[in-house]
Amino acid sequence: MDKKALTYGFIVGGIAGAISALLSAPSSGKDLRKQITDTKNEWMITLKEMTKNVQELKNSIHVLTSEGKDMAVKLVSDVKSTLSEWQNNIEGNKDNIINEVQALKDSIDELELKIQERK
């Protein structure tokens, strides 16, 4: 749904409703003209306030979008950095594990040789 069209619809509907209420209310021509003038001025003030609020909302959304993009870029950068650090940290452990597995394998081979010699 188009937000701009919706906003204009509310404004036009409100104005039409106000005019309809004024025209259907029993009052003299002079009173009616005064009420229409007063109502028109009130609606103009309301319209200006709504325009200002919509502009502030657009600015807030723009700022929020920019901040969101910046935060997403920073998050991706932090995750990449953390992953890289983790890979560097496990690299030393990986070598230690390989060396320990090789030492265990050598120990098992020695034990097998000793067992075969006793047979």
> Mind listing the pLDDT tens digit for each residue in 8-57?
787 888 788 777 776 676 666 677 677 777 788 888 888 888 888 888 88
Q: Answer whether 52's CB lies under 8 Å from 73's CB.
A: no
Domain coverage including residue 65: 3-118
Mean pLDDT score of the chain, rounded to an integer?
82
String of DSSP letters for 56-102: HHHHHHHHHHHHHHHHHHHHHHHHHHHHHHHHHHHHHHHHHHHHHHH
pLDDT of 5 strictly over 80:
no
Number of domains in the chain: 1
* 80's tokens: 């990449």
